[in-house]
């Protein structure tokens, strides 16, 4: 990788991947992987000025384009999914949905009136997302 910033960013991602692999190996070794949901998620797109790359999406972190706010997540479990094959869920999900989703999974009660909606059934069973909308931006200058 010719660009030093990008090369450093990729090196950090590779180091993180290796460290996570070691953690997963320890969890497996100790028997925890049979009763575990592993979730990795990002809250926004990457910043090109620090080596991030959102291609083919337009925009970057701190912008309203998809490259600024559409982000990947990764969910893994040995036994919690009915279809035990890799898949990509294309449903709409917002960061605030993780709390009610994890509460549903654990059997807890989600408080009324929160912004998030449980996505557990859509993730587990590869169904459509229950979310149909979310606040995309609030223009504080014009009080909109």
* Model confidence pLDDT, tens digit, residues 3-26: 999 999 999 999 999 999 999 999
Q: Is the pLDDT of residue 68 over 70?
A: yes
- Give every CB contact of residue 23 below 8 A, 6+ residues apart in sequence: none
The predicted structure's pLDDT at residue 21: 95
Tell me the C-alpha distance between 45 and 132, whole Å: 21
The predicted structure's pLDDT at residue 84: 67
The predicted structure's pLDDT at residue 143: 58
């Amino acid at each position: 990788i010719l660009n030093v910033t990008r090369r450093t960013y990729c090196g950090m991602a590779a180091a993180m991947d290796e460290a996570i692999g070691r953690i997963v190996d320890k969890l497996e070794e100790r028997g925890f992987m049979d009763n575990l949901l592993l979730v990795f998620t990002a809250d926004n797109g990457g910043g090109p000025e620090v080596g991030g790359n959102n291609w083919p999406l337009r925009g970057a972190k701190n912008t309203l384009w998809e490259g600024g706010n559409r982000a990947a997540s990764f969910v893994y479990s040995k036994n919690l999914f009915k279809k035990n094959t890799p898949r990509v869920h294309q449903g709409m999900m917002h960061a605030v949905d993780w709390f009610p989703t994890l509460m549903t999974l654990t059997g807890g009660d989600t408080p009324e009136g929160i912004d998030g909606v449980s996505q557990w059934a859509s993730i587990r069973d590869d169904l459509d997302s229950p979310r149909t909308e979310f606040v995309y931006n609030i223009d504080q200058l014009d009080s909109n």
